Structure 1
Amino acid sequence: MAPVRETALPTTAEHPPLFAVLGAHGGAGASTLARWWAPAADTGLAWPASPRTTQRVLVAARLCMPGLTAAAERLREWHAGYAPDGVTVIGLVLTAARPGTVPAAVRRYRSVVAELTDDVYYIGWHDELVVLDLAEIARYSPFDPAPARRKSRLTEAVPLDVHRAGAHIISRLAASHAATQHDSEDQS
């Protein structure tokens, strides 16, 4: 079972976070992902339990057997009702564990784990991360244009895969919010 974070998530950008990135295991990349996506907060390895900030969670894991196993454990905890009240898992983000192709056994298990959530995002290997501090990497904000086709430095722009995933997450959250608003108006 993952630990529970009782304190509110920090506001590190202009607005409170829209979603939290939960590392399924140490080294999952949750801090990097939360830094890349300005509307996100890093909740470490703990479920966010405070209703004062978002409890929408994106589970993060490395794309390797231990990472997928940890992600499956977190997703099964949530499905079984063991996450704190109010937590909603909005998807799974898998980051490359190494450059190159993913081994067949990992690809097969990935498809099994992917069935535990509606949305799965894939972030490739980005060599430049190895030499940068978190504070140095660029951030994605909603409505940012896609990065140029030429490869930009990570200090200048987020990678295209990070931008696409961020835009999709924000679109899904906006659609969910609009549906909730529509339902509440119908009930009034």
Structure 2
Amino acid sequence: MTAPPQLHRDDRPRCTSRLEAGTIATPEQLAPVRDTPLPTVGAHPPLFAVLGAHGGAAASTLARWWAPAADTGLAWPGSPRTTQMVIVAARLCMPGLTAAADRLREWHAGLAPDGVQVIGLVLTAARPGRVPMVVRRYRSVVAQLVEHVHQIAWHDELLSCELTDLAQYVPFDPPPLRRSRLTDTVPPDVHHAGTQIITHLAATRIDAAAQDDSEGTP
């Protein structure tokens, strides 16, 4: 049996869970930190981690759908031996958006572990149908905290599928030509979001390499 990941809450001084200016929080109000490396994806280390802003954020499902990803649960990936590129996942509802805002503000305030870089937010539908106006308005507010926001629709078939049965998105796979079963191919919105994430991640690495080269030039 695989040992559970080692999680801890450190003693860093923090802001409140809403991260209001000038206030301090206890470690219990922050996301925990995962000390152990994320699991490998096949023979390769994961390219990015999916962090659930709250329970039921669909982080496990998203990490299964995107083959290059790993599920880091509710914890920041704290080990430098694994990827610290993070996608924050949340449900598209008021509690989900509030939790996502807490994690994003925590990161912006420099309160996540050293090396963590948030590269996007994924909002998964909380139910089928139209999103209430109040939720749409708050989504716009939370979207200002992150450069890239991806949306995943409600998929009824997930209610009757095991995670291990879901098809996976692999970078450079062609988009699905038509809607099919989730066990055969990923949905178009999942494919589109995966392609955007990989593209943004590649651009981030190119920019970082260029910056390193310029800093090393005498």
User: Same fold, TM exceeding 0.5?
Assistant: yes
Instruction: Name the count of aligned residue pairs.
Output: 187
Deviation of 1:18 after TM superposition, in Å, equals: 0.6
* 1:15-57 superposed Cα distances (whole Å, 9 cap, x missing partner): 1101000000000000000000011000000000000000011
Counterpart of 1:177, as a letter, is R
* Alignment match, 1:154: 182
Q: Could you tell me which of 159, 170, 173 is aligned with 2:198?
A: 170
Q: Is the 8 A contact 1:13 1:39 kept in 2?
A: no
* 1:157-176 superposed Cα distances (whole Å, 9 cap, x missing partner): 00000000000100111111
* Alignment match, 1:65: 94
* Alignment match, 1:8: 37
Counterpart of 1:158, as a letter, is V
User: Superposed, which structure 2 residues align to 1:3-152 within 5 Å?
Assistant: 3-148=32-177, 150-152=178-180
Could you say which structure has the greater relative contact order, defined with CA pairs below 8 angstroms and 6 or more residues apart? 1
* 1:86-120 superposed Cα distances (whole Å, 9 cap, x missing partner): 10000100000000110000000000000000000
Structure 2 stretches lacking a partner, 5+ long: 1-29
d(CA) in 2 for partners of 1:177, 1:116: 21
Deviation of 1:128 after TM superposition, in Å, equals: 0.4
d(CA) in 1 for partners of 2:42, 2:112: 26
TM-score by length of 2: 0.84
d(CA) in 2 for partners of 1:137, 1:51: 30
Identity of aligned residues (%): 70
Larger radius of gyration: 2
Give the secondary structure class of the aligned counterpart of 1:71. helix
Deviation of 1:13 after TM superposition, in Å, equals: 2.5
Tell me how large the CA RMSD over aligned residues is.
Answer: 0.9
Structure 1 stretches lacking a partner, 5+ long: none
Deviation of 1:182 after TM superposition, in Å, equals: 2.3
Counterpart of 2:192, as a letter, is R
Runs of 4+ in 1 over 3 A off after TM superposition: none
Counterpart of 2:158, as a letter, is L
Give the secondary structure class of the aligned counterpart of 1:173. helix
Counterpart of 1:121, as a letter, is H
Give the secondary structure class of the aligned counterpart of 1:58. strand
d(CA) in 2 for partners of 1:61, 1:172: 20
* 1:49-92 superposed Cα distances (whole Å, 9 cap, x missing partner): 00000001100000000000000000011111111011000010
Counterpart of 1:91, as a letter, is G
